[in-house]
Structure 1
Amino acid sequence: MRNLWASLTVGLASTDASAKEPKHAIQNSNHIFNAIHSSMRQWGSSLNHNGMSLFLATVPKGVELYHGTSEPFRINGTEWLAFEPEHALVFARSHRRPPPGRGGPPGPGSHPHDDDAWHPSERSDERSRYMPWHDDADDDDLEFRRPHHEDRPLTHTAGQRERARVPHQQQRLFIEESDPEAESYGYLHTYQPKRDLRLLYIDGQSAAKSDKGTLDMQDIVLLHDNPPPKGADDHPPLREPSKGGRRRPGGPMGEVYRAEKLCELAQTEWEGQVDGFLRMELGFEIILCSFEQDLEVKRITQATSQDMGGPPGHDGPGNGLNYYQAVASRFDGIGGHRVTLDYDNFVSLFAAEGATFFDENNLPRARNDSSVIRSFLEATKKMVLQPPANKAVDWQAVDWQAVADMIVTKYADRIEYLASSEAGHLQTFKAELEQLFRPFTDYGNRNTTLEIHRCATQYVPELSSSSGLAAVSTLNVATTICSTLSHAAEASTYKEAVGRVQSLKSWLAWPTWKRCRGCGYNEVCFVPIWPMGGEKEHEHPRCVSNMSEVSRGYWGDRGPGPHNKSKPPKKHE
């Protein structure tokens, strides 16, 4: 990294004309570092929910993926896959039953007002806006009939309708045609990729249907020339008489349109080099462009009445706590090497000058500026079309998330302690920092600049070729930490010393500082994940043992939990 070292000054990193990354990447290195550290992690991505970065992702052949639906047939075409079965089970409901909150008699063992708690009285065409199951079926779709294979509902997240290309009798697996009881239940499909899937990962809560900025990367950037139609979330899709009265694809906030256009982009502009899109809401999911081409069925099983679309915000038949526990189990990562990200070759709006702004809630937003966006799209296309590196022989490949982990785990508690004023007085404060810098100090030849350099580069590999976005941002964050702590140790007053560390903590904004401490075995650390949670829980996540305890209002929704009068978020420019 000789060129990279030369481009950095102690404390305030900057790039010279030969550096590969723009100055804006250095200015936003804290945000880029957090994007790397939180990638494919439910916790950090839930707090930093407005994703501004794109990564190439690989899901290996044979990984189990799940799809919930009303049908005991394999699915073809474009649809959604979940990484956790509890996520997919939310959508495993019978086509005989209305989706949650749409009326109709409660299922066996349900409580009469469970759905009312999740969907208070309001216009029915607005209910789908905040429903995690994304169904936009209406009464005509709830006929007690077996749909023909030409017009079968594919309902994981959007109730998308698409013609299946495999005959009806060939698609039915493990379910007898003559079983009338099977019509009363939904089904959990388990699929496995036939080969490694190459996906584009959109970080943050990019599957959250909200106007807080979670969809900016998709609707403003990737679909800049073809954004979802305005008002797509307000009304059910129109019917097309020319197609026998079938409904055009809809979904909350244009979700089906979004999926179709993303896949169209992947097939045309990106020459089919991307198989789908990896996103996160209450669990990680994949928009896979072709089930038929990329998946083989492992099994299709019948769900119970408990799994028939129960809302996640209560602990009745919907098993809300069980669902959230499955989500919480992935707070620190998707696990099992089920997803691999390319950190040496990713793009971020934070690295593009003028591409982002922070709204009145201090949330990052994508600026709708065509001149900036088209340049970013070209960089994205270049990344996608670049031949994948052979990691098996590329000894210089660096797992930059692992590097970020070492930095966070080493300094998070120490910074939090020093910023808390618990040290009490300057002597104790300086003694703590003295211990921190001992490994980097030559007491026979003191040199503050070298001590900071040794501290900052402790975990950053010195590879001359690693001068990309991840390397620059990680080194700048490490340098800023070590420089600030060194200068705090030289402060003349305790107030000045604490103030410097508090400013550092605010700039770093590590999600780990909001983690609950000491939750019970039967509790989860609750943080708002669309469509659940309130403002207070975003600032101060807390231990809960029942989803009925959680508040609402953070997403501007009317989700489960005690009434929260927080104001809905303002729309961006």
Structure 2
Amino acid sequence: MQILSTSSLALSVALVNAGLQSTTPATHNANHIFNAVHSSMRQWGSSLLHNGMSVFIATVPEGTQLYHGTSEPYRVNATQWLAFEPEHALVFARAHHGPPPGKGGLPKPGDEQEGWHPPQSIEALQEYPPEPPPKHELEARHPHEPANGRPLSHTRAQRKRASVYYKQEPLQPKESKVKNDQHGYLHTYRAKHDLRLLYLDGQSAAKSTKGTLDMQDLVLLHDNPPPADGRPRQPPHDQPGSAQDPRSRRSSDQRPKDKKPRTGGPMSEGYRADHLCAMAENEWTGKIDGFLRMELGFEIILCSFERDLDIERITEAKESYQRRGPPGHGDGSINYYQAVASRFDNIGGDRVSIDYENFVTLYAFDNAVSFDENGLPRANNDTKVLQPVQQAIKEMTMPRNRAGSTNWQAIADMVIARYSDRIETLAAGNFAHEAAFKLEMENAVRPFIDYGNRNITLEIERCATQYFPALPPSTSIAAQAVLDVTTHTCASLLDAATESYSEALMTVKSLKTWLGWTTFKRCRGCSYNEVCFVPIWPMGGQGDYDEPKCVSNMSEVSNGYWGDMGGPPPPPSRGRNWI
């Protein structure tokens, strides 16, 4: 990787302009790496670039409030799901009523079910609400004091629900109030300390066949992937909450827990969570607390609620008798999507920080990524190809002492803010005459031209490095990707300024296609009561993906983009054009 000194920048720019830059995977895929950096932890870009091929170290600061929706008023102690937005959690804060015997659709009573996502069949979910979260917890703990002695603002009922003593009496199936009432519960937790997470980009929580699960199932769990046929496999040994873990045993006066290991849920989500957490504990020596993913909202698979969270409160959700559809449909659906859309550009509140100097992307490895017939990136399910990726991820999980780092996403933001609208305007070609087109082209690069001493190499360098920090130099993948993208952008614009109208228009259109910036698809002019809709699993159709639109009601949204929401496809053939 090149050091971004002044001399190497000039050489890099000259080589790019001459078409002689090295063709390493990171350079060849610079546009994809740039977009991964730009779209990370952003609902909009991650929704469009839904097949994430990169993993980052993410930190959620101590004290951050997080949410969990369930049918039970007991604090969670083991592996479970957390939402960043309460509207996300409230979708699952409801009573459980399973289907009658023989109706199919959802798992049979007794099957463990991950409680955060719709089942594989939307029709089944519309007929019957989800199963409750699995009772898959560590041993009950004693109530701990709030951080820094700060009293919790609990009502008496909330404190009672949060206490382990509230759950000492075993629940009897025929007499359980929780099972018979129509209420769900919204749990609110706070991080007891900084949470160190592995962030999987794209829509990594989407259960689809499109490639959204490739990083988890083909890369991280390559040696022990979720069962394709849905049948249970042996849980990982020594995983907190597993049958083998002595910490999961309870005394007889505590709330009973399910005996079976968690393997169910849509597309084996419980299995996936257990085995990812086992990897974090065993292979990565406990250096990762959980996994950060995205679907209709950002979520965390947290490996130990007991270790990492303080209970803030447990509140009873509004009673509801209506049949529920998948997230985003039914009563309050636009409210939920508005909460999701509020995170299009950022998770907000400094609730997550990403290390952009040290991340792992399949785009930087030989033959690790191909593009399918729909132009979507797919991971290569090949052991020899993925071994160096797995090793790089393991090394990344080990904490490092850093003197400082650059926020390459902020630099990517400035690049896109400067050029996105201008490139879109130029590519549209809607100019009254050629002179107006040429003037717009020149205006994009005018600040970098010395009109008394033209030098194309220096002009590209000035343009490409406008937002680069002077010191210290960086050899990171992100730094190189940003340099490659800005160099290609500036060189294309300067080149087009000297071409004929038809040639220049073709150059700009080609540049726009190569860049693939998600800003090109943003809606313009949505009203205050509308949101810009893009397919987010399990909602949306192909037309919504091709041309997102402003909507004020979810009935305006099409479907079918995500197909049957079944299991992952077989490994791709070697006949693909791997990159």
TM-score of Structure 1 vs Structure 2, range by shorter chain? 0.7 to 0.9
1:472 shift after superposition: 0.2
The 5 A counterparts of 1:191-340 are 191-232=189-230, 246=260, 248-306=262-320, 310-312=324-326, 316-317=330-331, 319-340=332-353
Contact 2:289 2:303 in 1 (8 A): yes
Aligned twin of 1:562 = none
1:433 shift after superposition: 2.1
Is 1:530 the counterpart of 2:537 in the alignment? yes
Name the CA distance, whole Å, in 2 between partners of 1:277 and 1:425: 53
Deviates more, 1:428-437 or 1:66-75: 428-437
Aligned twin of 1:133 = 117
1:175 shift after superposition: 5.0
The 5 A counterparts of 1:357-506 are 357-389=370-402, 394=403, 396-491=404-499, 493-506=500-513
Structure 1, residues 428-471: CA drift from partner, whole Å, max 9, x if none?
22211222222112122111211111011101123353121010
Name the CA distance, whole Å, in 1 between partners of 2:508 and 2:100: 54
Change (3 A) 1:244 1:497: closer
Is 1:515 the counterpart of 2:522 in the alignment? yes
Name the CA distance, whole Å, in 2 between partners of 1:461 and 1:408: 17
2:263 counterpart letter in structure 1: P
Name the CA distance, whole Å, in 1 between partners of 2:268 and 2:321: 26
Change (3 A) 1:169 1:454: closer
2:12 counterpart letter in structure 1: L
Name the CA distance, whole Å, in 1 between partners of 2:414 and 2:328: 37
Equivalent of residue 12 in structure 2, options 5, 8, 21:
8
Name the CA distance, whole Å, in 2 between partners of 1:277 and 1:547: 30
Aligned twin of 1:165 = 139
Structure 1, residues 344-370: CA drift from partner, whole Å, max 9, x if none?
111100011110000011000000111
What is the DSSP-based 3-state SS (H/G/I as helix, E as strand, rest coil) of the residue aligned with 2:299? Answer: strand
1:10 shift after superposition: 3.8
Structure 1, residues 115-137: CA drift from partner, whole Å, max 9, x if none?
xxxxxx9951599999963469x
Change (3 A) 1:550 1:335: same
Structure 1, residues 465-506: CA drift from partner, whole Å, max 9, x if none?
312101000011001110000000010x21111000000000
Change (3 A) 1:236 1:341: same
Contact 1:7 1:14 in 2 (8 A): no
Change (3 A) 1:314 1:386: closer
The 5 A counterparts of 1:78-227 are 78-95=79-96, 97-98=97-98, 102=99, 124-125=105-106, 133-134=117-118, 155=132, 159-166=133-140, 173-174=158-159, 183-227=181-225
Change (3 A) 1:263 1:169: closer
What is the DSSP-based 3-state SS (H/G/I as helix, E as strand, rest coil) of the residue aligned with 2:52? Answer: strand
Change (3 A) 1:262 1:247: closer
Name the CA distance, whole Å, in 1 between partners of 2:46 and 2:89: 20
Contact 2:381 2:571 in 1 (8 A): no
1:332 shift after superposition: 0.3
Contact 1:59 1:196 in 2 (8 A): yes
Name the CA distance, whole Å, in 2 between partners of 1:407 and 1:264: 40
Change (3 A) 1:468 1:6: farther
Name the CA distance, whole Å, in 1 between partners of 2:430 and 2:20: 41
Name the CA distance, whole Å, in 2 between partners of 1:316 and 1:409: 37
Change (3 A) 1:12 1:160: farther
What is the DSSP-based 3-state SS (H/G/I as helix, E as strand, rest coil) of the residue aligned with 2:59? Answer: strand
Change (3 A) 1:461 1:329: same
What is the DSSP-based 3-state SS (H/G/I as helix, E as strand, rest coil) of the residue aligned with 2:188? Answer: strand
Give the TM-score, by structure 1 length: 0.82
1:386 shift after superposition: 3.8
What is the DSSP-based 3-state SS (H/G/I as helix, E as strand, rest coil) of the residue aligned with 2:13? Answer: coil
1:327 shift after superposition: 0.3
2:87 counterpart letter in structure 1: E
Structure 1 unpaired stretches of 5+: 105-120, 137-152, 560-567
1:308 shift after superposition: 8.6
Is 1:343 the counterpart of 2:342 in the alignment? no
Name the CA distance, whole Å, in 1 between partners of 2:463 and 2:423: 15
2:225 counterpart letter in structure 1: P
1:23 shift after superposition: 1.4
Contact 2:197 2:289 in 1 (8 A): yes
Name the CA distance, whole Å, in 2 between partners of 1:347 and 1:359: 22
Name the CA distance, whole Å, in 1 between partners of 2:338 and 2:276: 31
Name the CA distance, whole Å, in 2 between partners of 1:222 and 1:14: 39
2:382 counterpart letter in structure 1: D
What is the DSSP-based 3-state SS (H/G/I as helix, E as strand, rest coil) of the residue aligned with 1:50? Answer: coil
Aligned twin of 1:545 = 552
1:431 counterpart letter in structure 2: L
1:316 shift after superposition: 3.6
1:342 shift after superposition: 0.2
1:229 counterpart letter in structure 2: P
What is the DSSP-based 3-state SS (H/G/I as helix, E as strand, rest coil) of the residue aligned with 1:397? Answer: coil
1:397 counterpart letter in structure 2: S
1:73 shift after superposition: 1.0
1:405 shift after superposition: 0.3
1:360 counterpart letter in structure 2: E
Structure 2 unpaired stretches of 5+: 121-129, 145-155, 167-174, 235-243, 245-256, 574-579
Aligned twin of 1:141 = none
1:337 counterpart letter in structure 2: D
Contact 2:381 2:572 in 1 (8 A): no
Contact 1:312 1:320 in 2 (8 A): no
What is the DSSP-based 3-state SS (H/G/I as helix, E as strand, rest coil) of the residue aligned with 2:186? Answer: strand
Contact 2:34 2:485 in 1 (8 A): yes
1:85 counterpart letter in structure 2: P
Aligned twin of 1:114 = none
Give the TM-score, by structure 2 length: 0.81
Name the CA distance, whole Å, in 1 between partners of 2:406 and 2:12: 20
1:506 counterpart letter in structure 2: T
2:400 counterpart letter in structure 1: P
1:85 shift after superposition: 0.3
Contact 2:136 2:258 in 1 (8 A): no
1:379 counterpart letter in structure 2: A
- Aligned CA-pair RMSD: 3.6
Contact 1:82 1:284 in 2 (8 A): yes
Name the CA distance, whole Å, in 1 between partners of 2:323 and 2:139: 27
Contact 1:160 1:250 in 2 (8 A): no
- Corresponding pairs, count: 514
